[in-house]
Amino acid sequence: MFPDSSKVYRKIISLNEKSPRLCEWQYKILRNTLSAGSKRDQVQEVKRLGTVYEHVQKMEGVKKDVMTECKNNYHDTAKELALIWHKEAQRTKNAATYQLTRLIYKEYLDHFQNEKDTPEMTFYFGEILWVTEQWAEAAETYTKVVQLDPKGKYVKEAAYAAVLAWKNALNIDDSGAMPDKDKKDMKPRQIPPGQQKMIAAFDTYIKYVPDAPELVKIKYRKARIFYDYNHFEDAVKLFKDIVDST
């Protein structure tokens, strides 16, 4: 009788809003929903557990073991759901499942930014954003993977994925050329924020993946941005570096 059980726990919560057991009760509601509830319901209850977790953290006098249990229940359930739904979405290619999985990953990463598994979960979140074509957010997420663990197992793949995601976000063709370049105007033009982020992604890749076979192409694309916006002095230095190092 999972729905009825949840109703009782919600009533208990409403009558005891200052109790350190709030997390325990909300976790039981979440478990009920996992047993008899839709994915959307489960996302909602995970979010509520996150809200309760934040609330209990601010309480005074909460025992350490109570706080630890609250954190572990929230952490482990959010992580487990994200990974299970991710695999399901990969298998079924269901757009709705991808979107719900995205919400769970975001919920997890909003609350657990310094855990041992944060780089891995961030990388997987980037995969979800990639598949759902959230290019700018995917690029920023992959860059964060590199920043979180510069020597980690996902650095090379994440650094390159960030470059490709910005390429898609900014609609840059494989030559690196910008479609709006005015051949008659030779004055330096301001490099737009999107292109600056692209340059930052190139710099991250060059720094952390110096032995990659795509390195020359990455350096060329960076130089090409400076060229297309008429920053010729910078472009010449970058093109020269490509020539000298190949």
Q: For the segment 8-62, what is each residue's pLDDT rounded down to a tens digit?
A: 989 999 898 889 899 999 999 999 999 888 999 999 999 999 999 999 988 888 8
pLDDT tens per residue across span 172-224: 655 545 545 555 668 888 888 888 888 988 888 888 888 888 888 888 888 88
Do both 239 and 141 map to the same domain? yes
Give domain status of residue 124, yes or no: no
State whether residue 213 is helix, strand or coil.
Answer: coil
CA–CA dist 32, 28 (Å, integer): 6
**Would residue 121 count as lying in a domain?**
no
Domain with 189 in it = 133-246
- For the cut 90, the answer to whether the pLDDT of residue 72 exceeds it is yes
- Does residue 209 form part of some domain? yes
Both structure tokens of 192: 């737009």
Give the dihedral of Cα atoms 74, 78, 81, 82; nearest 10 deg.
-170
The token duo for 3 is 């729905």
Which residue among 63, 80, 112 closes a domain? Answer: 112
Are 143 and 190 contained in the same domain? yes
Asked whether 88 and 99 are in contact (CB, 8 A), the reply is no
Residue 127 lies in a domain: no
What local confidence, expressed as pLDDT, does residue 122 receive? 97
What pLDDT score was predicted for residue 180?
53
When divided into structural domains, the chain yields a total of 2
Task: State the chain's mean pLDDT as an integer.
Answer: 89
Q: Is residue 64 part of a domain?
A: yes
Residues 142 and 222 in one domain: yes
State both tokens at 243.
């020539």
Burial class (CB in 10 A: 0-12, 13-18, 19+), 242: middle
Global pTM reads: 0.80
